[in-house]
Amino acid sequence: MAEKNFRHNSQDPQGPSPRRPRKSLLYYYCVVSIIVVLFNMLVMPFVEEKQVELVSYSDFLTQLDQGEVSKVQIADNQILYKTKTDGLTKIHKTGLVDDPSLVQRLEDQKVDFAAVIPETPSIFLSIFASYILPILIFFWLGNMLNKRMMGRMGASGLNIYGKSGAKLYKPEEGEKNFADVAGQEEAKESLQEIIDYLNQPEKFQKVGAQCPKGVLLVGPPGTGKTLIAKAVAGEAHVPFYSISGSEFVEMFVGRGAAKVRDLFEEAGKHAPCIVFIDEIDTIGKSRDNQMATNDEREQTLNQLLTEMDGFGANKGVIILAATNRPEVLDPALLRPGRFDRQVRMELPDLQGREDILKVHLRRVQTADPIDYNLIARMTSGASGADVANMVNEAALRAVRHGRDKVTTEDLVESIETVIAGAQKKNSIMSDEEKKIVSYHEIGHALVAALQKGAAPVTKITIIPRTSGALGYTMQVEENEKVLMSRRDALNQIETLVGGRAAEEVVFGEITTGAANDIEKATQLAKQMVTRYGMSDKFGMMQLESGGSQYLGGQGQMTCSPETSYQVDQEVLQIISSSYDKAKQVMIDNRDKLDQLADHLYQAETITGEEFMEILAQ
Ligand code: ADP
Ligand code: ZN
């Protein structure tokens, strides 16, 4: 079964590349001259030395007597001399020997000779080389590293790093506006007021109305929270500060609080402006219900609360914060006068996805008319970021295939890439395995197709994916459902266990291929019992609470251990009866199962239409 958990990708493929701060030319000159000086001091003498030939003292004397030596330099502990043989001048070196007759011999041969006055290296140079230079190099390296790190944090249109580490986006650059945010109409409406306020504060002040100080954007990852915050700044033409909550959490107690102070000080200078704090839950976590308190975070949070209370509502600094875990936030943050407004950013619906697709395809060259609706239907459950990612993936695919326009087919293939990972090239699957996977996938599809009202299958493939999925069945929702009936849930579980059922019925043996199916089926069955009140035994009793609303974390059981045991029994019962049903489907439709599985085995990929055709024969 397809793994439909979409990865969050916060990268904006269309965003301009980060702009690095420009280093001065002088800086480069300094670096180059340091390197040249070093080279001269350390490497050159060595190179010169190499050309000097070392000879023994007796050889020197022989050469001297034969009149080959032309010039001699006597230094502290060595003698350097030149010889000229066959018109070639060579430099030689030999050790100094206490030889009183040397001067006489030299004079006899009429050789030009001199003692060298030992050279004392300039004191400045030596101090420079041994003390100042290392320090300079140290500073330079530190500086480089720092810039690197800052550069990595940077994003489009950013230009100033304050003490707080927040990034400032000036209103003119890389401006986003509401047209860039597709769907999310409710959110836009709620934020419109803030834009109006920033544009015409007088209008509000005249009536005595106060603008909200903080707005909390709540929603799952990738739904465009950062994007909409930028768009608000863009619409209002005000600067935009962006910082992530995790940047406040520092090693040392008190540093985070200082950063908060700096941030508000900076923002105050640029008012009116928007401050965006991403992942506010990292600092705003509820202070109770924690075993170990985190002093640093608490101080940071307190500082944030103080600052928010501190500045007047009409100062023009508006704070937008984003989180995907609203349930863990400290109530003090949500109090009036702080983040008293919440804007929900939900996963886009069918229409929303279509709109997001259009927004992102605007920036891409497209060929034939794109079937927006089809793509939107195939991406049920995807976030805006996923859709943006798919568009980029499709564009990359077009380039790979040497085309300059994106087609609908590119988009379809890119959905699969995002859902199931890229096709695994040259992965080896034995014939036997291929057969099993074919039956497994057809098992899913067959159950789904025979359930009335279940989503039809659009595509089945047994081409292994890099995500590890050996094959998958892609379902497309005809029209999106907001509510799931008990029947729907049971159908879904039956479809999930259908793969394993086919394996067992056909081969009398089961494989590890169903691990992902089992996980999903169990999760859903458990939720039916503990959350949705869909079991006969417990009815509408809540048995589980908490858990992240958006991240799908596990909640806590709120019942006694005995009840918990019974819940397990109930879950088991749902799954095993679904499994029995699925097995029965396989037995009753054995010939179709064989026929379809064989076709899939041959073709490796079959479309929904082909599947239905064979089934209807
Ligand atoms: P969040 O902050 O909620 O995690 P982001 O704002 O970082 O999500 O969204 C990441 C990217 O996804 C955006 O840069 C944008 O390209 C795309 N995106 C998300 N939602 C939308 C949307 N509603 N309309 C257009 N693009 C969107
Ligand atoms: Zn499966």
Cα distances from 176 to residues 79, 153, 229, 503, in angstroms, run: 77, 19, 9, 52
Q: 608 CA to middle of ligand 1, Å? A: 31
Question: Which tokens belong to 357?
Answer: 């697709």
Q: Which amino acid is at 44?
A: M
Rounded Cα–Cα distance for residues 398 and 404 (Å): 7
| DSSP-assigned beta bridge partners for residue 278 | 244
Q: In a mutational test of the pocket of ligand 1, which residue from 217, 223, 346 has the highest number of ligand atoms less than 8 Å from its CB? A: 223
Q: Which amino acid is at 223?
A: T
Q: Which atom of ligand 1 is nearest to the CA of 355?
A: 24
CB 499 within 8 A of CB 597: no
Rounded Cα–Cα distance for residues 184 and 175 (Å): 19
User: With a 6 A CB cut-off, is 224 part of the ligand 1 pocket?
Assistant: yes
Q: Which range has highest mean pLDDT (205-219, 224-238, 316-330, 416-430)?
A: 224-238
Cα distances from 249 to residues 165, 244, 282, 283, in angstroms, run: 12, 10, 8, 7
Q: 470 CA to middle of ligand 2, Å? A: 9
Cα distances from 112 to residues 70, 93, 115, 215, 547, in angstroms, run: 7, 16, 11, 91, 96
User: With a 6 A CB cut-off, is 184 part of the ligand 1 pocket?
Assistant: yes
Q: 498 CA to middle of ligand 2, Å? A: 8
Rounded Cα–Cα distance for residues 259 and 250 (Å): 10
Helix axes 561-588, 515-530, angle to 10 degrees: 130
Ligand in nearest proximity to the CA of 358: 1
Ligand in nearest proximity to the CA of 444: 2
Rounded Cα–Cα distance for residues 252 and 255 (Å): 6
pLDDT classification of 9: cutoffs 50, 70, 90: very low
Rounded Cα–Cα distance for residues 524 and 210 (Å): 46
Q: 357 CA to middle of ligand 2, Å? A: 29
pLDDT classification of 293: cutoffs 50, 70, 90: low
User: With a 6 A CB cut-off, is 466 part of the ligand 1 pocket?
Assistant: no
User: With a 6 A CB cut-off, is 321 part of the ligand 1 pocket?
Assistant: no
Ligand in nearest proximity to the CA of 225: 1
Cα distances from 245 to residues 70, 160, 240, 253, in angstroms, run: 79, 19, 16, 15
How much is the average pLDDT of 118-141?
77
Catalytic residues: 441
CB 356 within 8 A of CB 392: no
Among protein residues, the one with the nearest Cα to ligand 1's atom 14 is 12
Write a three-state SS string for 480-541: CCCCCCHHHHHHHHHHHHHHHHHHHHHHCCCCHHHHHHHHHHHHHHHHHHHCCCCCCCCCCC
Q: Number of helices (H) and strands (E), helices first, in the chain?
A: 23, 17
Structure confidence by residue, pLDDT tens digits, 352-391? 888 998 889 888 888 878 888 888 877 777 788 888 988 9
Nearest to 83 by CA among 70, 64, 67: 70
Nearest to 483 by CA among 422, 534, 436, 520: 534
CB 412 within 8 A of CB 378: yes
User: With a 6 A CB cut-off, is 384 part of the ligand 1 pocket?
Assistant: yes
Task: Please report, rounded to a whole number, the percentage of residues in the chain having pLDDT higher than 70.
Answer: 78
Whether the full predicted model's pTM is greater than 0.75, yes or no, is: no
Write a three-state SS string for 561-615: HHHHHHHHHHHHHHHHHHHHHHHHHHHHCHHHHHHHHHHHHHHCEEEHHHHHHHH
Q: What per-residue string of b and e applies to 175-200 under the rule 16 or more CB within 10 Å gives b?
A: bbebebbbbbeebbebbeebbebbee
Q: What is the distance of C-alpha 468 from the center of its chain? A: 21
Ligand in nearest proximity to the CA of 440: 2
Rounded to a whole number of angstroms, the distance between the first and last alpha carbons of the chain is 25
- The overall average pLDDT reported for the chain is 78
Inform me whether the pLDDT recorded for 129 exceeds 50. Answer: yes
pLDDT classification of 157: cutoffs 50, 70, 90: very low
User: With a 6 A CB cut-off, is 220 part of the ligand 1 pocket?
Assistant: no
Q: Which of 83-87, 299-303, 375-379, 413-417 has the lowest mean pLDDT?
A: 83-87
Res 10: pLDDT: 35
The 8-class DSSP code of residue 191 comes to: H
Rounded Cα–Cα distance for residues 417 and 455 (Å): 21
Structure confidence by residue, pLDDT tens digits, 263-285? 888 888 877 888 888 888 887 77
3-state SS, residue 278? strand
User: With a 6 A CB cut-off, is 10 part of the ligand 1 pocket?
Assistant: yes
Nearest to 490 by CA among 437, 463, 456, 453: 453
Among protein residues, the one with the nearest Cα to ligand 1's atom 17 is 385
Q: Which helix (H) or strand (E) holds 353?
A: helix 350-361
Describe the chain by its helix, strand, coil percentages, rounded to 5: 50, 15, 35
CB 237 within 8 A of CB 171: yes
pLDDT classification of 118: cutoffs 50, 70, 90: low
Structure confidence by residue, pLDDT tens digits, 428-439? 677 788 899 999
Nearest to 353 by CA among 183, 178, 474: 183
pLDDT classification of 507: cutoffs 50, 70, 90: very high
Among protein residues, the one with the nearest Cα to ligand 1's atom 9 is 224
Q: Given strand 457-461, what is the order of strands in its sheet?
A: 472-475, 457-461, 605-607
Q: 471 CA to middle of ligand 2, Å? A: 8
Cα dihedral value 371, 376, 379, 383, nearest 10? 130
Q: 590 CA to middle of ligand 1, Å? A: 46
Biggest CA pair distance of the chain? 124
Q: Which atom of ligand 1 is nearest to the CA of 13?
A: 16
Among protein residues, the one with the nearest Cα to ligand 1's atom 11 is 385
Res 423: pLDDT: 63
Residue 272, preceding bond cis, omega within 30 degrees? yes
User: With a 6 A CB cut-off, is 226 part of the ligand 1 pocket?
Assistant: yes
Question: Which tokens belong to 67?
Answer: 């009149």
| DSSP-assigned beta bridge partners for residue 214 | 319
User: With a 6 A CB cut-off, is 227 part of the ligand 1 pocket?
Assistant: yes
Q: What region, left, alpha or beta, does residue 87 occupy, with left being phi > 0 and alpha being psi -120 to 50 degrees?
A: left
Inform me whether the pLDDT recorded for 463 exceeds 90. Answer: no
Pairing of strands 556-557, 240-244: unpaired
pLDDT classification of 15: cutoffs 50, 70, 90: very low
Nearest to 460 by CA among 505, 401, 489, 502: 502
